[in-house]
Structure 1
Amino acid sequence: MDRYGHYEVLKLDWVTEGVLRVTIDNPGRANALDAAGHGEITRIWRDADADERVRAVLITGAGRNFSAGGDLDWVRSLADDPQARIAGLREARELVTNLVNFTKPVVSAVRGVAVGAGLVAALLADVSVVATDARLIDGHTKLGVAAGDHAALIWPLLCGLAKAKYYLLTCDPLEGAEAERIGLVSLAVPDDEVTSRAAEIAVRLANGAPTAVHWTKHALNSWLRGAMPHFDAALALEFLGFAGSEVQEGLTALLEKRTPTFQEGAEASH
């Protein structure tokens, strides 16, 4: 594992020969991702793609949760620092494009909560295995920014525009069982079966015909590459929002554990 020695927030080991396990490891904070963690979850796909030993990747979270999304100190820096905002936009785009262009199969094992960059990885995985009581949350509009990241790219394709609009506009939590019913995830299983079921699928994919698996994935991901203009627009609008007043209220409300109060103004009038 020497080639992965510079990773700190992500813990890396082998499920079995050929299957790299990527574990988001910050359990004291529900595996929230700070600036370092966000950078790591962006870069790991390039590193694993270049590693000839890797035939499949299993991504999961340490402890009871997958990932609570962005650490609030890091999110605050996006709102307060223009240079951090530019760097964050570039990294958020690379996270999605690195996942879409990753040539090997990815399986996500999701327990507890999945938000933010963690949710990006969970849903852009080729096979997503979630606990029936897992909670998937896209909280962008509640924070006061547009639903960028992966949302406009993959949600309408997976679950249809009506369901995508409902959950992305309201930020309502989506339980794993319902996520499977509407087609947002591949499988929903009892919590105590998530890890073993996801590992089993990752091993099966790793043992499959490599070229056939890779090329099938590449062909299917052409749907995502064709939708990249929608993603670019959503991401630009999200990070434009980080320069506005609504995100300041959204962040303050999160820290104070209250419902945000957004005022009608110029930002809402386009």
Structure 2
Amino acid sequence: MQDSHYRFERIIVERREGGVVLFTINRPERMNATDDVLHREFALLPRLFDEDEEGTIAIITGAGRAFSAGGDYATIASDDNDYARKLAMTRETLQLVGSLLDCRKPIISAINGPAAGAGLALALLADISIANEDAVLCDGHTRIGLAAGDHAVLIWPLLCGLAKARLHLLTCRRIKGREAERIGLVSEAVPPADVLPRAFEIAAELAALPPLGIEFTKRSLNLWLCQAMPAFEASLGYELLTSFNPQLQARVGQVAGGAAR
């Protein structure tokens, strides 16, 4: 049944005990890749959860074998330099990042499988991230000729240091969950079957604590990220600029073809 507060098309909403709200990204046939609808719903999710009077803690995961495997290549390939569409996506990304930082309530990402693009932004900007130790995380922007603009310039240097951030963001090098934990990119990495149960365990820990202490500790911690917002906004502008690169469509086709093989 569709939740009357959220009314998502691509995200399943389940209310659990103790005010926990489980959000499941639901495009498993496309590895939960983001199309226009899902990207819009990502942008809306943090604000709607913040306004949810019954919800106290959010857990976000993916249906099937992926968390969210980046932008849907079919959507990118059909873009054809549509300025209005690109501008809408840019605004939605600003909304997603801003509302994640502003959300008063804790958000936990249960990264059950591959995560990239806007899905990786949602995963890493969550307050606590629990990753499948075998899941592949990757920011693939430069592979198709885009500047890394979704979230990475904002948070990767703070989580894993500038040297590692440069290595992974410039090369699009893939990183598994256990390595992501080792360098500090995620909070914990656990065996695949334990990802969601561990997220619920941490949700129960948080639910037992006074919510105001959680809220304002989270807000204080996020001030570190707020200081980096100018760098993030610059990266998002550069991503928009590079999205008009005449070679982009050819690169998308090459990468999509390689992924299909």
TM-score of the aligned structures, taking structure 1 as reference length: 0.92
Matched residue, 2:5: 3
Deviations 1:228-255 (A, max 9, x none): 0000000000110001123222212123
Which residue of the partner structure matches residue 258 of structure 2? 257
Q: Corresponding residue for 1:139? A: 140
In the alignment, the residues of structure 1 paired with residue 16 and residue 81 of structure 2 have an alpha-carbon distance, to the nearest angstrom, of 41
1:77-96 matched pairs, under 5 angstroms: 77-96=78-97
The DSSP-based 3-state class of the residue aligned with 1:90 is: helix
Distance 2:103 2:70 in 1: 22
Give distance in 2, aligned partners of 1:166 and 1:245. Answer: 26
Q: Who is 1:168 aligned against?
A: 169
Partner of 1:69: 70
Give the secondary-structure state (helix, strand or coil) at the position aligned to 1:251: helix
Q: Report how far residue 75 of structure 1 moved.
A: 2.1
> Given that residues 79 and 247 in structure 1 are in contact (C-alpha distance below 8 angstroms), is that contact kept between their aligned partners in structure 2?
no
How many Å separate the matches in 2 of 1:41 and 1:56?
17
What secondary structure, in the 3-state scheme, does the structure 1 residue paired with 2:5 have? helix
State the identity as a percent: 47
**Which amino acid is 1:99 matched to?**
L
Which residue number corresponds to residue 151 of structure 2? 150
Instruction: Flag structure 1 segments of 5+ consecutive residues without an equivalent.
Output: 259-270
C-alpha distance in 1 between matches for 2:95 and 2:203:
24
Which residue in 1 is equivalent to 2:15? Answer: 14
The amino acid of 2:30's aligned partner reads R
What is the CA–CA distance in structure 2 between the aligned matches of 1:10 and 1:78, rounded to whole Å?
23
- 1:36 corresponds in structure 2 to 37
Question: Does residue 187 in structure 1 map to residue 188 in structure 2?
Answer: yes
Give the aligned residue type for 2:245: G
**Displacement of 1:79:** 4.9
Residues 154-189 of structure 1, C-alpha deviations (whole Å, 9 max, x = no match): 000000000000000000110001000000000011
* Matched residue type, 1:2: S
Cα offsets for 1:2-48 (capped at 9, x unmatched) = 212x2110100023231111110111111112100110011011111
Q: What's the offset of the Cα at 1:77?
A: 4.6
d(CA) in 2 for partners of 1:74, 1:42: 17
- Give 3-state SS (helix, strand or coil) of 1:44's partner: helix
Residue 112 of structure 1 aligns to which amino acid in structure 2? G
- SS of 1:107's equivalent? strand
How many residue pairs match? The answer is 257
Residue 88 of structure 1: how far off its partner (Å): 1.1
Equivalent residue of 1:80, what SS? Answer: coil
Secondary structure of 2:9's partner?
A: coil
Q: Is this contact kept in 1: 2:77–2:253, CA < 8 A?
A: no
Q: Which residue is equivalent to 2:246?
A: 245
What is the one-letter code of the residue matched to 1:190? Answer: P
Q: Which residue of 2 aligns with 1:261?
A: none
CA distance in structure 2 between the partners assigned to 1:77 and 1:53 by the alignment: 40
Give 1:152 shift: 0.4
Confirm or deny: 8 A CA contact 1:137 1:171 kept in the other structure.
Answer: yes
How far the C-alpha of 1:104 sits from its partner, in A, is 0.5
The 5-angstrom pairing of residues 187-266 of structure 1 reads: 187-257=188-258
The answer to whether the 8 Å contact 1:12/1:22 transfers is yes
Cα distance in 1 for partners of 2:236, 2:78 equals 17
Question: In the aligned structure 1, how far is the partner of 2:137 from the partner of 2:217?
Answer: 27
- For 1:63 and 1:252, the matched residues in 2 are separated by 25
Q: Report deviation, 1:78.
A: 4.4
Q: 1:52 maps to which residue?
A: 53
Q: Which residue of 2 aligns with 1:262?
A: none
CA-to-partner distance for each residue in 1:109-143, whole Å, 9 max, x for gaps?
01220011110010001110001111001000001
C-alpha separation between the residues in 2 aligned to 1:201 and 1:46? 22
In structure 2, how many angstroms separate the alpha carbons of the residues matched to 1:15 and 1:204? 15
CA distance 1:15–1:143, change in 2 (3 Å): farther
TM-score (norm 2): 0.95
CA contact (8 A) 1:79 1:85 kept: no
Whole-angstrom CA distance in 2 between matches of 1:83 and 1:74: 14
Task: Give the secondary structure class of the aligned counterpart of 1:49.
Answer: helix
